[in-house]
Chains A and B, each alone.
Chain A
Amino acid sequence: MIVPSLMDGLLLGFVYGIAAMGLSLIWGVMDVINLAHGPIIALGMFGIYLGFTGLGLNPYLTLLLVAAGGLLLGVLIYWMAVQRVINAPHLSTLLATFAVNMIIIGIATAVFTTSPRNVDFSLGSFFLGPVTIPWTRLLAALASVLVTGLLYLFLYRTRPGKAIRAVSDNRAAAELMGIPTSWILALAFGLGTMFAAISGGLIATFFPFTILAGGSYELKSFVICVLGGLGNPLGALIGGLLLGALEGIIPAFMETSWVPVLEFVLFVLILLVRPQGLLGSKT
């Protein structure tokens, strides 16, 4: 009983990890908590829905488009809402991104309504001992690992990636070294939202959703970021696995409805005891 549920949770944890990674990247580079994260996850879901149901495209092919869209949207949000307040107190950036959240949800609700959608796509499932695993879940987990790997290659092996790390270390010094910090910050924000969109797209391949569904994944992302350390992308993936494992194990001992209680209590406790996260190094 516990093995299949744990397996489910872990596979899902990879996808949670991707969502949290986006949040964590933005936080790490520019100290901004992106409250528009949830709606972008939801837009990722609807991207897959429109591509698959509307145009008949393969969901995984559509995911590339969704990723590109997420990147562009993020850059746009950065220029419109974040750029001006990037040096202001936290309240300003929190509220600016929340305003973006309201705008996206407002428009998207008018366009898509809040009725539940479902991407009717299945690749069947396979058996691993006593465990049945749908292929879509496994592919989502693999895609998450792949994307994480690509992010690390990008951050450590390419020039723009190194520039992102430089800006995150010390913005003023990076500027003095000739790095166009505004562009780099916009790029980092775009990457963060791209990860949100990808995770939303992956979730859409196996769960039904509404335009408001992003909210709960955004909250999960907060929990994961705190588990893994805010501003630490790899920690986010591990945090995602931890959360997934918790969601898999807890129902074996008590009712499923207690899962969020434990999650958020844990969240507050970790914030109190170790605000840099369980795995975090940066404060």
Chain B
Amino acid sequence: MKKQLGNPGLWLALVTTAAFCVWPALASNSAYARETSFTILKAVAFASSLNILLGYTGYVSFGHIVFFGLGGYVGFFLMDVYGVHLAVAALAGGLSAAVLAFLLGRAILRLRGAYFALATIGVNEAMRAFIKNFEPFGGPIGMTLNFRVYQSYGGPDRALWIAYIATALLTILVVLVSFLVKTSRFGLGLMAIRENEDAAEVMGVVAPRAKTWAYVLSAVFPGMLGVLFFFKNGNVEPGDAFVLHQSIEGIVMVMLGGQGTVLGPILGAAAYQRLRGLLLVSTLFKNIQLAVAGVLLLVIILFIPAGAIGWLRGRFPRLRRVLI
């Protein structure tokens, strides 16, 4: 652990997150900067969690947003109906996502390649359709947080700042976990599975167990994130919670920065969100921002499949010590 903490790669990743994602909002103290920063942090945390499964283990989860949505719903329900504190709700959201991942993992992680990807899409769609029919969670209309709830956090403005700080801390935690996994024996096992699952099993990696824990780990944080996000939003509905498109955007962010690296998803997510923000406000690209993002994605997939950090690592082997 002590040796790992001395790793410059970890500090680079943490400092990058803090400096580019958290600091601008704290420094300006404005609601606008906070909202921008919130979107970026959410993306960074989601992409980094996804990376544990996608980048380290090599399993493509297309429906990862299901954990964000389910966690968000469970936490929101607890806050709305039982008046539970945000922190407890966030933990409950993370726990429910973890339980779902654990149960699912045992089953669908047996599928490989595209079949796994398809199954995760199916799980997300099934969950969305189910929540739409689930009356305790408000069915198709969803739930809206009573305004009184914010009073107990010292007013709406303060409540939003609390949600923001919590998201920032959570993001830092995700980056730390992502690093610890990558440099641990467990992580090495995951990467062995990514390269060749059968060979990894022969070498003594208990693949089903390792994969399931990777899946659980990559599900916990999106679940907590969902609670914070919907607390900030004040309402939750099936159409917002289980957006397949956001799931795939998460994959794009991981690919953009470099799958299987700690720093990659952070940069990828931040760059993607910044770019989207720029495109949305430019008069020229406003209407076709999706198409521009599509072209960008295509260029990356076709020509730089390793992503920015992966490319740098391949080009300048000396940087590998820092860019992990």
Residue ranges of A at the interface with B (Cβ–Cβ < 8 Å): 31, 33, 80-81, 84-85, 88-92, 94-96, 98-107, 109-110, 219, 222-223, 226, 255, 257-258, 260-261, 263-265, 267-268, 271-272, 275
Contacts and interface: CB of A to CB of B under 8 A. Distances in A.
B188 interface: no
B129 interface: yes
Given A92-B305, A94-B117, A103-B298, 11 more contacts: A31-B114, A101-B294, A102-B290, A103-B295, A106-B289, A106-B293, A219-B125, A257-B140, A261-B130, A263-B129, A271-B122
Interface of B: 54, 60, 62, 107-108, 110-111, 113-115, 117-119, 121-123, 125-126, 129-130, 132-133, 140, 248, 251-252, 255, 287-295, 297-298, 301-302, 305
A18 B110 CA distance: 30
Nearest to A32: B114
Contact of B291 (A106, A219, A260, A265): A106
Contacts of B301: 85, 92, 95-96, 99
- Smallest CB-CB A-B distances: 8 pairs: A106-B291, A102-B294, A106-B290, A264-B126, A103-B294, A260-B129, A99-B298, A110-B287
25 contacts: A33-B117, A85-B305, A90-B60, A91-B54, A94-B62, A94-B114, A94-B117, A95-B248, A96-B298, A96-B301, A99-B297, A100-B298, A106-B288, A106-B289, A106-B292, A110-B287, A219-B121, A222-B121, A226-B118, A258-B129, A260-B126, A261-B130, A263-B129, A268-B122, A275-B115
Contacts of B114: 31, 33, 90, 94
A96 B303 CA distance: 11
Nearest to A225: B118
B interface, by DSSP: helix, strand, loop or mixed?
helix
B25 to A, nearest CB: 29
A98 B132 contact: no
Contacts of B108: 268, 271-272
Contacts of B113: 89-90
B272 to A, nearest CB: 12
Given A85-B301, A257-B133, A257-B140, A110 B288 contact: yes
A110 B285 CA distance: 10
Given A92-B305, A258-B133, A109 B290 contact: yes
A88 B114 CA distance: 13
A95 to B, nearest CB: 5
B297 A98 contact: yes
A85 B255 CA distance: 15
